Amino acid sequence: MTPEINQRVAILRAKAAAGTMTEADMAEAIRVLREGRVGAQAASDGARRKTAKAVIPDADTLLGELGAL
């Protein structure tokens, strides 16, 4: 998250703790948090794809290796 978003979240958190949060503030907080989760999911998907590039042998290769034992 950017420093501006962190600052806005801190303000919204303070309003929630004080009980002065409006419906518009709540909607903004939900929107900001959802955007952050979408960004985190995209980053996680990219990391998962990098680690999943291992070559998976086919069944014939596996059986051949088993027969060689």
* Structural domain span for residue 11: 3-67
Higher pLDDT, 54 or 7: 7
Structural domains of the chain, count: 1
31 residue type, one letter? R
User: What is the model's pLDDT at position 22?
Assistant: 92
Q: How many helices (H) and strands (E) does the chain have?
A: 3, 0
Q: Which pTM value belongs to this model?
A: 0.51
pLDDT tens track for 11-48: 999 999 999 999 999 999 888 888 776 666 666 666 66
